[in-house]
Structure 1
Amino acid sequence: MTGVTTACPPWSDAQHVGPGDDFSTLHKPAICEYKGEVFLCWATPNAPPNSFGWTTWLASDSGWQSQWKQQGMDNGKQQAHTSALVVFKGILYALIPWKATSGSDSGCQIWSYDGKWFNQMGEWGSTYSKATTTTITGPSGFSPNTRINESSSSNPALVIVDDTLHLFFLVSGSGRSVLDTCMNGQEPLSWIRITGDDLDESGNSGISAVSNPTSDLLWICFKTHNGEDNLICHWSRKKPSWTKSVPLGSGGVFPTKNEAALVYSNGWVYAVWNRAQNRHLLWWSRRLVHHLDPSIWMSYLASPSTSIAQMSIPGTHNSATSSWNGLFGPQNGWICCQDMSITQQLNAGIRYFDIRAGYANLQDRNNGYSEPLCVFHGKFYAGISIEDVLEYSYNWLDTHPTEGIIVQIKADGPTGTNPQNVSDDFNDLIQEKIQYWNLGETIPTMSQLRGKIQLVCRIPRPTNYNIVVDGLLQPSTQPLGINASRNWPSDTAESVEIDLFNTKSTPVKLWVEDNYSFDDNGSVALEKKKQKITDFIDLAFSSIGNSSAPTWYIGYSSYVTDWTLTSGLIPDSNLNYATEDLDGDSSMNEALEDYVKSKGGYGHPGLVGNLVMDYPNRDSGTLINSIILNNDLNLKS
């Protein structure tokens, strides 16, 4: 498990706080939110030892500032234990325990933040950890220490729970049970042990705790008893009981020297810990406080009048190929583009489906016989019929009426496949269940899409949509979805002006990124395609606010290289380039998720367009959600 860095849902995969050994520590870090910004503070491990480091969460919401700041303590003093960050009377303070570099002196310095740096402004004195000490200098308002009639040999945690101040700690002794006490709120102040609250846990090291601003949700974190895992328990007012502890993640970077520090900020709970092995590097993970159910994510949209062109929508390329397993070797890796069925994709949040249709028995269809439409990728039959794909979609919509689906249909198959036959047969299937379809030729709003399938056509109009005018066959004004049959870009990126059959319809404009063919293999091709898709996202992002006639941005992250190799695996088959690091370069999906997150997230969405992907739920499982969270959503706790 050494190389595995998989977080337990809903926590994100672990990442370094920053590069190099400067972002490491022998002690538990301290974390706090101040004026909407998250601060992280830690004891520096390297020379000079009499210092502490700190950084802040990036305004882009994509990680921590890599340029950390180092602040020196008085000569002859070095940080000795876990520091604390606390906001008191509107000022951010850092409390830094210290010991003498020679001798037995110790104490706790008090530093205040001035907007740029921390400045030493007080001292707690050598008896800071003793009951009844009154030797605090610096900020006014601190009371003398008072004794709590409990015992613990490690760091406790203070937190507001349901409007009451609670103290969590691991009790002294071999059992080290997690205990909960609360302040009575009356004079004389005292602490009362909470019993019967089903918090049946024990651990090692200390404990951390955090609640959300309304104090109706709470998390605690502590180390495994006689182990190195960060364990998380959760409590909510709606269901006033504790969950059983679960590890933050497994393998690799998750074993911890000290329990993770926790903080709430802007709808997220953050965890930061120092890794157990060797250099004790700092790592972080986070989770949304609010619950996102991807199977009903469209129900969270703040405005039903939002055009789907102004939404960030996850989609899949060659969506119905998960059942393909027809060949061995390189071609197999090229033909199969997904590992989830249509229903699984819908439940995971996918809403745009790229469907390619042809005939398993092409000769009979071309001879005029009735043959079922089937899913193809190129000339290869994917093992499922178009009718089955549609039935899965209908059944799913029946139980998810708040959602909508987009289906883009294209003719594919062996040489000789007639796109007109595909169009006629596909239209017959639509007419059988017409109540599920939105066949308008303009871009719908979310309220128009709910419970429906919006059709995007890359096939000709059905034969029976034509009418005879003055003895000539002419197309009628009846639309069959958005008509992209004539000028969809091939292996390029460009604007698409849609041909309208009803001149009174609102004009439709698409921008499609579909560069799919590269001569290079491996990381060279991967880097070229990454640049294409990030340029596409930048373009979509720059269009925010153009609501009068929005352009619908559709971008494919998929591509192919030389798949005609006769032996071995393709260096960047669909699965490999989407999910694997190639020549040390991060995978397409990892890079895509990082870039999507850099554009926005829950509470500050940024338009990233309609992203059409291969294997989007593989490995991290958070790529789809990162796209969904770039919409204006109202999530529930």
Structure 2
Amino acid sequence: MKKKVSILLLSILVLMLGVPNKASAYTNSNWMGSLDNNTSISKLSIPGTHDSGARYEPVYGTAKCQELPISEQLNIGVRYLDIRCRHINDSFVIHHGSIYQHMNFDDVLNDCISFLDKNPTECIIMSVKEEYDASNNTESFEKTFDSYVAKTSNRWYLGSNIPTLNQARGKIVLVRRFSSNSSSKGINATRWADNATFSINNGYSQIKIQDQYKVSNNDSKWSAIEALYNEAKLQNNNCLYINYTSGYKPMAFIPMIPKVSNDINSRVENYFNQNSKGRFGITASDFIDNDISSKIISTNF
């Protein structure tokens, strides 16, 4: 009898103190592992980066969008990468506009697969877009992309529907911004509007995107960002929201990226100080850091 009473008292004490759970144990490198397998990625808040490989520029403020290399972006919790590929000699090199970023697509994929090998509970959503002028190719952009996928086909999710975590863990989920002969190759985002907030319903998945990147007024840009956050929090759970907080301020002949990011990033951080729980979709940032990423991740728990 005494033993049963002791067990009962111990059980009550554990309940009063609280039981450690998976959510309390996550780190930024494995945060998806604490979420239910059946959760659609459209129902998450996901840190991401705009022009994820853009770390070099000839003139300050004109092309660089990130301080951290892709490997470190992933380690601090980023799960959406915006990859811009120039098609040259039947291969992909990473560009921001005309500016070569001193890496190629193999470098990007090696970083991603190495990360997923170490963190198999995670997935990486990758937007792939053709950038700048194609040169000296014998194959289409799609065929060259297919040749990269063929090297590690088991590491890709190429379904046209927005996947659950169970379908996506350990994989790269393609958001396709290039034309394809197959309508079911990745999440089809080829109807990406320029400098706008817009919706895509491609018959397989619904996406809503804010990508107003020509920023003459930071207040107007912030209003567009905040409106999409608030919609993502309150509306369609089956829609994948992608919110680009990035942009540049036209300055004579020189676009100035930091004029936007220096201000907007602090507003994003403050927004998540005040909105600490809920579904806010993907945030694609310039110059992401651990603080912003951590605040976005924590809203999932």
Which residue in the other structure is 2:234 paired with? 542
Residues 1:531 and 1:372: Cα distance change in structure 2 (over 3 Å): same
Which residue of the other structure, out of 400, 418, 431, is the alignment partner of 2:119? 400
Query: Is the 8 Å Cα contact of residues 90 and 136 (structure 2) preserved in structure 1?
Result: no
Which residue in the other structure is 2:12 paired with? none
Query: Is the 8 Å Cα contact of residues 343 and 392 (structure 1) preserved in structure 2?
Result: yes
Which residue in the other structure is 1:132 paired with? none
Which residue of the other structure, out of 76, 79, 89, is the alignment partner of 1:348? 76
2: CA distance between counterparts of 1:625 and 1:403? Answer: 16
Residues 1:416 and 1:590: Cα distance change in structure 2 (over 3 Å): same
Which residue in the other structure is 1:459 paired with? 178
1: CA distance between counterparts of 2:32 and 2:273? Answer: 19
Counterparts of residues 463-502 of structure 1 (less than 5 Å): 475=181, 479-485=184-190, 487-499=191-203
Counterparts of residues 552-631 of structure 1 (less than 5 Å): 552-565=240-253, 573-579=256-262, 587-599=263-275, 601=276, 605-617=277-289, 621-631=290-300
Gap runs ≥5 in structure 1: 1-212, 218-288, 360-364, 462-474, 500-506, 580-586
Q: Deviations over 1:570-625 (max 9, x none)?
A: 6xx3234323xxxxxxx2111112112322x2xxx2111111001120xxx31111
Query: Is the 8 Å Cα contact of residues 46 and 283 (structure 2) preserved in structure 1?
Result: yes
Which residue of the other structure, out of 303, 307, 311, is the alignment partner of 2:44? 311
Which residue in the other structure is 2:11 paired with? none
Q: Deviations over 1:464-501 (max 9, x none)?
A: xxxxxxxxxxx457x3211111x1121111111125xx
CA shift, 1:371, in A, is 4.0
The structure that has the greater radius of gyration is 1
1: CA distance between counterparts of 2:96 and 2:172? Answer: 22
Give the letter for the 1:293 counterpart: T
1: CA distance between counterparts of 2:162 and 2:19? Answer: 41
- Alignment of 1:527 with 2:219, yes or no, is yes
Counterparts of residues 106-117 of structure 1 (less than 5 Å): none
Query: Is the 8 Å Cα contact of residues 407 and 453 (structure 1) preserved in structure 2?
Result: yes
2: CA distance between counterparts of 1:453 and 1:481? Answer: 10
Query: Is the 8 Å Cα contact of residues 26 and 33 (structure 2) preserved in structure 1?
Result: no
Give the letter for the 2:239 counterpart: T
Residues 1:345 and 1:539: Cα distance change in structure 2 (over 3 Å): same
CA shift, 1:333, in A, is 1.5
Which residue in the other structure is 2:169 paired with? 450
SS of residue in 2 equivalent to 1:444: coil
Counterparts of residues 96-107 of structure 1 (less than 5 Å): none
CA shift, 1:295, in A, is 0.4
CA shift, 1:564, in A, is 4.7
Query: Is the 8 Å Cα contact of residues 48 and 81 (structure 2) preserved in structure 1?
Result: yes
1: CA distance between counterparts of 2:182 and 2:53? Answer: 32
Residues 1:417 and 1:304: Cα distance change in structure 2 (over 3 Å): farther
Give the letter for the 2:208 counterpart: W
Give the letter for the 2:91 counterpart: P
Q: TM-score, normalised by structure 2?
A: 0.87
CA shift, 1:291, in A, is 5.2
The two structures, once aligned, show a CA RMSD in angstroms of 2.6
Q: Deviations over 1:179-226 (max 9, x none)?
A: xxxxxxxxxxxxxxxxxxxxxxxxxxxxxxxxxx73999xxxxxxxxx
2: CA distance between counterparts of 1:564 and 1:426? Answer: 37
- Alignment of 1:512 with 2:209, yes or no, is yes
Higher relative contact order (CA 8 A, sep 6+): 2
1: CA distance between counterparts of 2:73 and 2:200? Answer: 27
CA shift, 1:423, in A, is 2.1
CA shift, 1:565, in A, is 3.9
2: CA distance between counterparts of 1:515 and 1:215? Answer: 45
Which residue in the other structure is 1:296 paired with? 30
CA shift, 1:372, in A, is 2.7
Residues 1:447 and 1:417: Cα distance change in structure 2 (over 3 Å): farther
Count of residue correspondences: 285
1: CA distance between counterparts of 2:18 and 2:178? Answer: 55
SS of residue in 2 equivalent to 1:496: strand
More strand by share: 1
1: CA distance between counterparts of 2:146 and 2:109? Answer: 12
1: CA distance between counterparts of 2:121 and 2:169? Answer: 5
Q: TM-score, normalised by structure 1?
A: 0.42
Q: Deviations over 1:344-363 (max 9, x none)?
A: 0000000000000004xxxx
Residues 1:448 and 1:216: Cα distance change in structure 2 (over 3 Å): closer
2: CA distance between counterparts of 1:561 and 1:319? Answer: 19
Which residue in the other structure is 2:149 paired with? 430
Residues 1:423 and 1:216: Cα distance change in structure 2 (over 3 Å): closer
Query: Is the 8 Å Cα contact of residues 596 and 608 (structure 1) preserved in structure 2?
Result: no
2: CA distance between counterparts of 1:596 and 1:480? Answer: 34
More helix by share: 2
Give the letter for the 2:177 counterpart: R
Give the letter for the 2:32 counterpart: M
Which residue of the other structure, out of 132, 138, 158, is the alignment partner of 1:413? 132
Runs of 4+ residues deviating >3 angstroms:
213-217, 289-292, 414-418, 563-566
1: CA distance between counterparts of 2:106 and 2:142? Answer: 14
Residues 1:376 and 1:530: Cα distance change in structure 2 (over 3 Å): same
2: CA distance between counterparts of 1:484 and 1:428? Answer: 21
CA shift, 1:563, in A, is 4.6
Which residue in the other structure is 2:6 paired with? none
Residues 1:622 and 1:445: Cα distance change in structure 2 (over 3 Å): same
Query: Is the 8 Å Cα contact of residues 423 and 459 (structure 1) preserved in structure 2?
Result: yes
CA shift, 1:421, in A, is 2.8
2: CA distance between counterparts of 1:490 and 1:433? Answer: 32
